[in-house]
Structure 1
Amino acid sequence: MRKDLIRGSLVVVVFTVLLGLVYPLVMTGIAQVAFPSKADGSLVRKDGKVTGSTLLGQAWQKPVLDSAGKPKKDSDGNDATEADPKYFQPRPSATGYSASVTYFGNHGPNQSSTMYLTRQNLQAYLALEQPYDKGLKADQVPVDAATFSASGVDPHISKANAAIQANRIAAVRHLSLARVQQLMKDNTDGRGLGVFGEPGVNVTKINLALDQEAR
């Protein structure tokens, strides 16, 4: 009995060290050598500072100012913000694109709250895009522009969504539409493993590219 306990304890200790310490360190070392950027979280830097990750979406917002040029407050006393027209906007997020948490909007397809939120998101999208695309109608808006992603931090939008937003970006940044469309093409990620999902424009990457293109 005593020998069995000793042997069992040794096995637990050995495999704890091997699988809990040695194996992770070896894999981390290989990853750092083979693909250091991905191993570190695919971080993006601007002016030498980390500003995000290409794996995560961000809320590209700007402060809402009053007539005196001071930030307005929302109902909770926080600085009010709105979509910055200089940037491509990600899809709606239940997390507000928080960097510390991911979750989806827990609303079923038959709930009245789902219809309300979708309609609200659709109206906000049209309000932002219609001044630059006069013929845009509600039934032309891609589904991802008005619905939440599963993670709440998805950096991708559909190519159709990006194509609509490109009109605004070109006008606000004084770029040709053709140039914006080329940046979209350059920052479109393909299907997972070549077969899963649909190609999507990475909003984080294309907005950083836009800042480099037209400061």
Structure 2
Amino acid sequence: MPVATPRVLIVEDVASQRDILAYNLEAEGYAVSHAETGDEAMEMFREVDPDLVVLDWMLPGVSGIEICRQLKRAGRGRDVPVIMLSARTEEQDRVRGLETGADDYVTKPYSVAELMARVRAHLRRTRPAAVGARLEVGDLTLDPEGHRAYRGEAELKLGPTEFRLLTTLMETPGRVLSRDQLLDRVWGRDIYVDSRTVDVHVGRLRKALTAHGHDDPIRTVRGSGYALG
């Protein structure tokens, strides 16, 4: 099983626009979820834990600006890139969108090719292994395309699950990931695995990481989960 596919949440109330975005994102190889209103967006965000949000400014009910503000206020949302789409072209509107917390601002009508390039750029920062980028954290190096990992000069002997687990931890160094988040990223949302299985595989990964006399770089946060470093 490869590294988990990045998931993009589209928040757009116009069906034709939503369908175009979904088609092109899926063609790029991303998993796609969507919402039509601000309330749906918040519920869907909690449900699918996306890696990136494409958010329209003008939505029925709660505006995209307010949704962005809520997402960036605390918790997981602070780490998820938000690309704001808007027909508003004035500089003050762009500034307002960015100051609210949006990571990017794209005006309508937009070039689909340019938007896809921006999506790739943001995911390269937050999910580098998913786009084939080499990861380096301390003395750990991971090559997702070659499916190899090293600690210093020594190659690590990892099973497929331990490799995906290390990849997930290296993509988010210092951040505590809950068992549920690790289950989603490592095993997938559609596969049922007992949360205790995470502990078993973390133990196996620790054994591989310390096999050459190195310190254990994985931190256990009681009641929360695990973090690298």
Asked whether the two chains share a fold, i.e. TM above 0.5, the reply is: no
**Higher relative contact order (CA closer than 8 Å, sequence separation 6+):** 1
Q: Which bin holds the TM-score, normalised by the shorter protein?
A: under 0.3
Give the TM-score taking structure 1 as reference length: 0.26
Instruction: Pick the structure with more strand per residue.
Output: 2
